[in-house]
């Protein structure tokens, strides 16, 4: 089967002859779905060395006409299957599906043909061949439960534990690496059933994309970013957002070629959001940075505005292309010299310069001088002091660096994770050691009059009793508590005032700038999500609520749960209606869609478990009920 068929569409209507053929499909399907390999043997005839009038295998008389369109290929496949000629039947069903890839009946018939053929091979103890066809059956139709169960049995018979996540994940990874994407897709789908987390969904989405199933890949990515991710999986989460950007970039270019201006602009905006989020999560994600730069260039070609120049300046900063970043920051200065977003972005730029391993001495000196001027206006800004100290350290001016670090620590020891490390690098003092009387930080072996020792009378960084208390050991912080905000309440109050006044776009711009500078500001994500929710951007709102929740922002969990409930309310009503009518198949399908949209709600998992139980899928039913119990306990 040609696996690129997803990009084709059948645009020709069936003739009146096809309508007659469809009646024949219904009659033949009964024998196709109920026949067994044993029955098929009875219907086979010996070859007479001549092709039959029906165009079938040699010596076999077929009732269907020679196929000329997808429906007739399907009809021929059904008839061949009813006679047990499974390889021929598979070929015909592939022809039908390749020509009309959106036809669900064609897809299910192909899957059924692979299942029957695999069963026959399994009965002949040809386990490896059977496994291949069971996987082909599941690739064509992932809902083929018998193929799934029989595949598990075959894997068990060759010594592999089908219920071990690591076994199935290992098979998927191996086939993904070797380019066998059909097997990888089937096995990653199984992994998602066994462990429905963000990483499993992302791996499935990635291999679907490689196989050319772009729409399915994007849907999996949307589900993946709404799942929980472990702290050790942040690089993969960044890649997940980056792949979303890649897909949206492709469809954005198509909209541009088609002259669909509003759609093109909307997609371009979303491309920028995806790449920026990817680069924020992992600033070393080169693909995300490159994508953000390309998206910014596309935006500037449309409008050489302040916001677009600020976006590309930030992208160049992330990519350590500081000269180009300066050019666009200068353009921003010309367009909006008093814009508060520019000031915040330039502080981020200077931080990137002084912490970069490739910044030239000239660039370092420029940034240090700029920060020095800012310190004249705000001498007690802990962040500016840290940046200044880091710049002086890079320029080998260690005394000045120590003085800046010490003062920053006395104001806010948590302003930057590297602050205490910087002091340790320059002084050799242990981290977070309580100051000794007289202000000495207690560096081991420190002697009076030793050059460069902070806290010593007459030396840089001398501290009195008040300074000693300021640099004393910081109390231990609860890891589960939200991190201290680096944005003042006044700034958030101003943003909330903008929202109340109806200037939601202005509020979104300021919140995005805060997130760019301080990726751990949960309150900013929460406010941005609330604006997006009111504007109908529920998918983006959920992503930001999820980020806010992971950062322990107060009220984020409730906002996330409420949004999920609203998004799926209509689908839940439909699912419950199907359950009341006894239509468990439709109910299960709808509930799966609900779970994709709102995976953290316990009720859909419980109802799906009940529906799967009635359908005979006990193993999956138990998994769903267990998930529902876990989520219920989490809510309590």
CA separation, residue 172 to residues 2, 189, 507 (Å): 21, 9, 44
* pLDDT at res. 41: 36
- The answer to whether the CB of 162 falls within 8 A of the CB of 155 is yes
* pLDDT at res. 634: 66
The model's pTM: 0.61
Last residue of a domain, one of 79, 114, 140: 140
CA distance linking residue 290 with residue 316, whole number of Å = 9
Is 57 part of a structural domain of the chain? yes
- The answer to whether the CB of 285 falls within 8 A of the CB of 273 is no
- Residues with Cβ within 8 Å of 474's Cβ and at least 6 positions away in sequence, in order, are 413, 414, 432
Last residue of a domain, one of 430, 457, 487: 430
CA distance linking residue 554 with residue 342, whole number of Å = 29
- What b/e string do you get for 443-460 counting C-beta neighbours within 10 Å, with b at 16 or more? beebeeeeeebbbbeebb
Is 189 part of a structural domain of the chain? no
- What b/e string do you get for 73-102 counting C-beta neighbours within 10 Å, with b at 16 or more? bbbbbbbbbbbbbbebbbbbbbbbbbbbbe
CA distance linking residue 213 with residue 413, whole number of Å = 50
Chain position carrying tokens 């529906």: 611
CA distance linking residue 373 with residue 633, whole number of Å = 54
Is 155 part of a structural domain of the chain? no
* pLDDT at res. 429: 65
Which structural domain range is residue 619 located in? 566-635
Which residues, given as ranges, of the chain have pLDDT below 70?
Answer: 1-59, 429-484, 517, 634-636
Q: CB neighbours (10 Å) of residue 233?
A: 16
Find the CATH number of the domain harbouring 347.
Answer: 1.25.40.10
Is 546 part of a structural domain of the chain? no
* pLDDT at res. 50: 29
CA distance linking residue 481 with residue 519, whole number of Å = 16
* pLDDT at res. 463: 37
Residue 394 in tokens:
């890079």
Residue 416 in tokens:
């930057």
* pLDDT at res. 431: 56
The 3 state secondary structure assigned to 150-186 is HHHHHHHHCCCCCCCHHHHHHHHHHHHHHCCHHHHHH
Structural domain tally of the chain?
3
Last residue of a domain, one of 430, 465, 496: 430
- Residues with Cβ within 8 Å of 593's Cβ and at least 6 positions away in sequence, in order, are 571
Is 246 part of a structural domain of the chain? no
Kind plus residue range of the DSSP H or E element containing 220: helix 214-225
CA distance linking residue 269 with residue 267, whole number of Å = 5
Is 558 part of a structural domain of the chain? no
CA separation, residue 489 to residues 484, 485, 496, 512, 586 (Å): 12, 9, 10, 17, 50
Is 232 part of a structural domain of the chain? no
Is 622 part of a structural domain of the chain? yes
């Amino acid at each position: 089967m040609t696996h690129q068929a997803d990009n084709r569409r059948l645009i020709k209507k069936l003739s009146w002859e096809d309508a007659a053929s469809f009646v024949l499909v219904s009659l033949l399907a009964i024998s196709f779905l109920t026949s067994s390999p044993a029955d098929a043997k009875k219907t086979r005839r010996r070859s007479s060395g001549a092709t039959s009038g029906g165009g079938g295998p040699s010596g076999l008389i077929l009732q269907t006409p020679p196929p000329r369109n997808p429906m007739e290929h399907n009809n021929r496949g059904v008839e061949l299957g009813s006679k047990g000629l499974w390889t021929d039947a598979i070929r015909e069903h592939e022809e039908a599906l390749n020509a009309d890839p959106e036809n669900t009946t064609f897809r299910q018939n192909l899957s059924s043909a692979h299942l029957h053929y695999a069963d026959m091979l399994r009965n002949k103890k040809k386990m490896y061949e059977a496994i291949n066809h069971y996987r082909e059956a599941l690739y064509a139709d992932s809902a083929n439960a018998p193929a799934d169960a029989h595949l598990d049995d075959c894997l068990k018979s060759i010594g592999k534990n089908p219920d071990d996540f690591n076994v199935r994940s290992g098979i998927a990874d191996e086939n993904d690496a070797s380019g066998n994407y059909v097997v990888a897709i089937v096995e990653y789908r199984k992994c998602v059933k066994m462990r429905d987390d963000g990483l499993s969904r992302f791996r499935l989405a990635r291999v679907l994309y490689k196989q050319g199933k772009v729409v399915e890949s994007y849907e999996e990515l949307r589900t993946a970013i709404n799942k929980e991710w472990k702290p050790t999986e942040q690089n993969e989460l960044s890649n997940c957002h980056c792949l979303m950007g890649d897909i949206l970039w492709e469809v954005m270019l198509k909209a541009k070629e088609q002259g669909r201006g509003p759609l093109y602009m909307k997609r371009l905006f979303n491309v920028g959001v995806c790449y920026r989020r990817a680069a924020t999560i992992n600033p070393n994600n080169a693909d995300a940075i490159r994508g953000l730069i390309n998206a910014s260039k596309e935006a500037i070609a449309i409008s050489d505005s302040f916001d677009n120049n600020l976006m590309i300046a930030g992208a160049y900063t992330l990519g350590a292309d500081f000269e180009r970043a300066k050019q666009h920051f200068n353009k921003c200065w010309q367009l909006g010299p008093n814009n508060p977003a520019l000031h915040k972005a330039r502080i981020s730029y200077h931080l990137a310069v002084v912490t970069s391993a490739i910044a030239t001495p000239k660039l370092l000196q420029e940034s240090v001088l700029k920060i020095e001027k800012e310190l004249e206006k705000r001498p007690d800004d802990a962040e500016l002091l840290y940046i200044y100290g880091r710049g002086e350290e890079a320029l080998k001016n260690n005394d000045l660096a120590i003085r800046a670090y010490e003062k920053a620590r006395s104001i806010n020891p948590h302003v930057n994770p590297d602050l205490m490390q910087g002091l340790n690098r320059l002084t050799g003092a242990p981290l977070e050691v309580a100051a000794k009387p007289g202000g000495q930080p207690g560096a081991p072996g420190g002697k009076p009059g030793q050059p460069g020792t902070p806290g010593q009378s007459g030396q840089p960084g001398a501290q009195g009793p008040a300074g000693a208390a300021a640099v004393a050991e910081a109390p231990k912080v609860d890891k589960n508590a939200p991190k201290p905000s680096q944005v003042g309440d006044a700034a958030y109050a101003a943003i909330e005032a903008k929202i109340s006044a109806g200037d939601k776009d202005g509020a979104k711009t300021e919140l995005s700038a805060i997130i760019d500078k301080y990726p751990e500001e949960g309150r900013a994500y929460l406010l941005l999500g609330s604006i997006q929710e009111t504007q109908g951007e529920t998918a983006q709102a959920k992503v930001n609520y999820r980020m806010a929740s992971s950062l322990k922002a107060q009220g984020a969990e409730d906002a996330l749960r409420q949004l999920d409930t609203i998004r799926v309310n209509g689908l839940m009503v439909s699912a419950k209606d199907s359950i009341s009518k006894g239509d468990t198949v439709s109910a299960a399908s709808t509930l799966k869609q609900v779970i994709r949209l709102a995976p953290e709600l316990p009720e859909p998992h419980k109802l799906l478990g009940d529906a799967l139980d009635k359908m005979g899928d006990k193993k999956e039913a138990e998994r769903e009920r267990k998930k529902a119990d876990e989520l219920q306990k989490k809510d309590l």
